[in-house]
Amino acid sequence: MKPTIRPARDSDHNAIAAFTSATFEWGDYVAEAFPDWLADPTGCVMVAVDDGDTPVAVGRGVMLSDSELWLQGARVDERWRRRGLASAVGEAIANWGREQGALVSRLGTEDWNTAAQRQVEKAGFRQVGDWIVAVRPTPAAEPTTSGNGGKRARARRKLEPAHSSEATPAWISWRSGPLVQPSRGLHSWHWRWARLELEHLVEGARRGELWASPAGWALVRVDKERLTIGWLECGPDDADEMVGAIVDLAQDTGTERIHLPVPAVNWLAATLETSQFELHPMIIYERAL
């Protein structure tokens, strides 16, 4: 089949829900997110359709800045796989991104998803980062052996809201610290990765999202029942205190879950594991447009 690619429509929802409902053991988020994707003026949703104009593949792109395109939600009906549909949908989204001014596109995939890795590498993407998405309930359900099985003590140095004047010291510390190189200069919000600029820290402070302690800094959002860290700055000697302060903040704000993406460095992974986080390795890919 030579794919026919077109922008997605509201009427495509049921067909997309049908072939994405069992993507993973837990299901999939695509059908639920689809209406919001269509309503987002910064994004583009493309589908490949069969001869009856029924979608058999879908993908989404969203502009994260004036020059960065993020790709997500690529799915193909299992009856139509290995026909190049994911790449064709991705290329249509890339063309849209170029029209918006995008100079680079990125995407992420779990480290176990070798099929997706082969597909995106064939499409010209290169690996630019290894990350860990660390998650845990607040409080953790059970003590762990790595955590010595006891009740966790509160961090000695708590996180406090930071004034915008803290943005520059935080930026300088990060740019000269151990996390900037493994992060490739990226930060993450809600499973999307983009370059971090000083302005993001300044704007975050003005929104009350930049938090500081003597152990480091973090960009924090409390969204419904989840506390999300979009960016973290600390060193190996302060990691335990910083992660502990994040857990304390989650408890103090009454959130039920912590979502913390970080570059996959051994000392930080070990700290998170000791702090009872589940670690989900991710690979970030990039392609120039």
Q: How many CA atoms lie within 13 A of 130 on its CB side?
A: 9
pTM for the whole structure: 0.90
What is the SS3 assignment for 24? strand
Q: Residue 139: its pLDDT value, please?
A: 78
Domains and CATH numbers, the chain: 4-102 (3.40.630.30), 131-288 (3.40.630.30)
Residue 194: closest CA among 59, 58, 42, 89: 42
Q: Residue 24: its pLDDT value, please?
A: 65
Distance CA(68)–CA(104), nearest Å, equals 5
- pLDDT tens figures, 222-257: 987 899 999 999 999 999 999 999 999 999 999 999
Is the predicted pLDDT of residue 1 greater than 70, yes or no? no
Q: Are 147 and 139 in contact (CB under 8 A)?
A: no
